[in-house]
Structure 1
Amino acid sequence: MARFLQEDAPDLGDNPDRQRVAAVDAWKHSDFLCKNYILKGLDNALYNVYSPMVNAKALWESLERKYKTEDAGSKKFVVGKFLDFKMADSKTVISQVQEFQLILHDILVKGMVLGESFQVDALIEKLPPTWKDLKNYLEHKRKEMKLEDLIVRLRIKEDNRQSEKKAGNYHQEAKANVVKQDEFLNLDELNDDADGDKHDENVVAIVDENGFDGASNDHNAGQLFGHEGTNATNN
């Protein structure tokens, strides 16, 4: 079938003999079968577009131009996604690693090959800003690492960071509770002091109102405080 996609139909020429005519007819029949074999692989919309093509070669070249151009465009798109991809601190690293792996898969599907060491270096380079220390460490690590090993290491590191964050939050909450409790106790003490001062003021006001004056008012003072004055008893 490949010959009908690459070769032009034979020409009858001037004054063809019967054998030449038979050869041309056989070619046209085979070309017709080849063309329809290709058209059967297209969906209805594409079939209507490409069925008017005069022969299998013209049909094949038209399809090749269209899809090779589109494939080149899709390759550029995937490569662009790979180059622009950068991790952010707003999302978990592992979820972004999975996005990175999907981009790598798309690149491989397009027929482009990336060495594993390149994939590892690219993933390290795309780590978020808060992972700067690990990034610097891995960039200067001499021993080569497999992509799978790097992903496992990142997963462990992220789990540890989340555990430390939870522990820090718990410590902050406990500290805040202690501060609130101290403030509450101090407020109670202030209220107690205020009540005591108010009681003393009331006593002074009563004393002033009854006109207490030294020993002459011991009897009244005794009545006020629930006992008889000593001077009154002696008199």
Structure 2
Amino acid sequence: MATDPITEVVATENQTVATVPSPSVNQTVAQVPSFAATQTVAPTGHVTVPVNHGEKPEKFNGLNFKRWQQKILFYLTTLNLVRFLTEDAPKLKQGEGDIQAVSTVEAWKHSDFLCRNYVMNSLADSLYNVYSTMKTAKELLESLDRKYKTEDAGLRNLLLATSWIKKWWTQKL
């Protein structure tokens, strides 16, 4: 197999991935975009494996918050977005305007946007409307956590009290 880059013409609006056969496995060929109508590609030396990001969690309708929360955290972990539920947005310092700092902030905002929308899309429509005003993924999950963890705890306490009263009444009879 030659180690020289492969140049191919790319049709408009279509991107192709070349596969270079080798004795043991097929190698994926990375594309390096250029400003011309061609792209230069070179073997990356690793096997392409399809990625399954796990099953999308069912929509949260206000019940079983703890289960839904665990499922959405796992799902966001597989997408490498879970950190946006705990991190605050990076801020540019006064007068800081270098391209790397601005790019870092913009990349964070984009990833937070994705994370927030994955969470929003896993909410039932009635809850979507309530929580659509949240600005960040962290703010969204904290708000859900405050509302539904409290309700789950209250429901659990109610069930315990009900079972205690029932037990007390049966002992009295």
| TM-score calculated relative to the size of structure 1 | 0.37
Larger Rg: 1
Higher strand share: 2
Higher helix share: 1
| TM-score calculated relative to the size of structure 2 | 0.50
